[in-house]
Chains A and B, each alone.
Chain A
């Protein structure tokens, strides 16, 4: 897996217009947080927004949480580096919104209806009537969440440093403090409505920059001819990474989309399950708008470097900042960097919610000791998690890179079989679910550790995440088939009603 977020310093962006736009952005976020805080009353409000969210809000917030700053910084950098192979990460977006709708959306939302569930491990625990499966999935989520949060906070610190010249350490803690302020006070409710604002900023920024990118390169055809004259494989269907690695991205980012807890737990929040009708349409439009920048900037910068109009980049993460500083008005640059900050904050807020729920709700429940005041304890764990992630981000850059790499794969391999397939197959068993979660955990952690310490890497650029996902799926099927004698008895009658709905 590539590192999904930036980890090296950005070019200085402290221009008056950019700073003004960014400050304006923070003021809007603060206003939304204050408004959301006044509406919050309970743990349900804190973790699932009281199941009272409309479809438009849900779709924009989910897209913002899915994409993170990767769509604006890491992604274009990856396209600049490896070519079309990097597009295989976002290509599944044409399928995944509909996939999620058919496989999970209705069932998750109805589970929330009949059981009042709040978390993804809740759903796994309810499906298999198993505290062990709930606890194990919560552990997997917690490990990935801390890594993801640390990576995102480091990225946020780098952007804040570039815009406000604060220094990296101060940038990390400033970013963490802002997110904490609205997360602790307003929980996921504040996060959702800031996500809507942030998602709108991201979509607008992406559309505008797409136009500038095409204009700078003389149109897509001219960009392609310029690049192909210098590097024939770059614009081939697999880029410079070859078919196996590129298709592995497709596999992990398509099937893996069903296992991202910070995204799928938002299904619980929808006010009316019948609003799901237009969910894939809205999500697909939002996603398509937001990924235009991802492809266009990477390709345009590559063409401009080939032409000699830009010097070769010293770091792939510089693709977007370099392009904006040279080829877009500073107002647009300010909008994009606000969009980057927005995207990262949206993702971190979602991770905070998922991580705090795992600590406050899922693990105590798995151990048979549910917390009595979940709202209060949720706020405490939110602070603890954020401070821990910020400290990790500041103390060790290499550790952050390591932790951030396997987040998506760990979520995918531990959650997809047990939840996405389990809710659609009554032959899935408790033993199968536990075995698949354990397999995902072990293969991902072991594989990524061996790769990180250069002991062993999979050949031809194949990702550990792909291998761990397929391994956990096969173990899930094999163990379920071997232990299926009592599968039907393991399903509670209300869960059965939801699965058959």
Chain B
């Protein structure tokens, strides 16, 4: 699992790099460059989050679905904002106070994840991040080291 997540982080960074390279080497901004950067940035954040949450080579199933779900949500939000035709004129319909494309992006990337990720962290903390036993193990392992090894 860790290798897959690491590969996702690397692939996402390459994708973001391709987006930057696209605008630097071409005389105009290619249509695909913002797509690369959006998906690369989203992928890098979510896969790095998953890499940090993985323990002993595995990722708890609840977290696996959480990260995948938030990644898809953000990807769809960015994708919709990039793909939908601009419709922000005077009579444009509003969604929760903003033009539709903007609302999808702001609420999809900036609001909904606020109600998912922090609670996923808290609810899986004992089982998947740091239990009292885990902490005791770290302290015991530290005390078991020789003074030289502790540095």
Contact = CB atoms under 8 A, between A and B. Distances in A.
A236 interface: yes
21 contacts: A87-B106, A101-B121, A113-B138, A114-B142, A115-B150, A220-B98, A225-B90, A232-B90, A233-B88, A247-B34, A273-B135, A274-B135, A276-B130, A280-B118, A421-B48, A458-B24, A494-B142, A494-B145, A498-B138, A501-B134, A501-B137
Nearest to B131: A274
A224 B34 contact: no
Nearest to A83: B102
A425 B6 CA distance: 8
B75 interface: no
A276 B125 CA distance: 8
B62 interface: no
Nearest 7 pairs of A and B residues by beta carbon: A220-B97, A103-B52, A280-B118, A98-B117, A102-B52, A251-B41, A243-B34
B126 A228 contact: no
Interface of B: 2, 6, 9-10, 13-14, 16-17, 19-20, 23-24, 29, 33-34, 37-38, 40-41, 44-45, 48-53, 55-56, 70, 74, 78, 81-82, 86, 88-90, 92, 94, 97-99, 101-102, 104-106, 109-114, 117-122, 125-126, 129-130, 132, 134-135, 137-139, 141-142, 145, 149-151
Given A87-B106, A276-B130, A467 B20 contact: yes
B23 A459 contact: yes
A501 B130 contact: yes
Contacts of A319: none
A94 B37 contact: no
Contacts of A288: 114
B27 to A, nearest CB: 8
Nearest to B102: A237
B44 A255 contact: yes
A421 B78 CA distance: 25
Interface stretch (A15-23, A165-173, A184-192, A469-477): A469-477
Contacts of A115: 150-151
A294 to B, nearest CB: 12
Contact of A232 (B40, B81, B86): B86
B86 to A, nearest CB: 6
Contacts, number: 223
B130 A221 contact: no
Contacts of B105: 91, 237
Given A232-B88, A470-B17, A477-B13, A224 B121 contact: no
A34 B125 CA distance: 37
Main secondary structure of the interface of B (DSSP, over half): helix
Contact of A224 (B19, B29, B97, B132): B97
Interface string A79-99: 000001001001111110111
A284 B149 contact: no
Nearest to B77: A237
B149 A492 contact: yes
A280 B142 contact: no
Contacts of A238: 81
Contact of B138 (A258, A279, A501): A501
A493 B149 CA distance: 7
Nearest to B114: A94
Contacts of B102: 84, 235-237
A242 B109 CA distance: 18
Contacts of B56: 500
A242 B40 CA distance: 18
A497 B138 CA distance: 6
A98 B89 contact: no
Interface in A191-246: 219-221, 223-225, 228-229, 232-238, 242-244
Given A106-B130, A244-B29, A236 B99 contact: yes
Given A225-B90, A459-B23, 7 more contacts: A94-B111, A238-B81, A248-B20, A274-B132, A277-B122, A424-B51, A474-B14
Contact of A255 (B41, B122, B139): B41
Contact of B20 (A94, A466, A500): A466
B6 A228 contact: no
Contacts of A425: 2, 6, 51
A284 B139 CA distance: 30
A310 interface: no
Contacts of B41: 247, 250-251, 254-255
Contacts of A101: 121
A380 interface: no
A477 to B, nearest CB: 5
Contacts of A250: 38, 41, 109
A483 to B, nearest CB: 16
Contacts of B117: 94-95, 97-98, 280
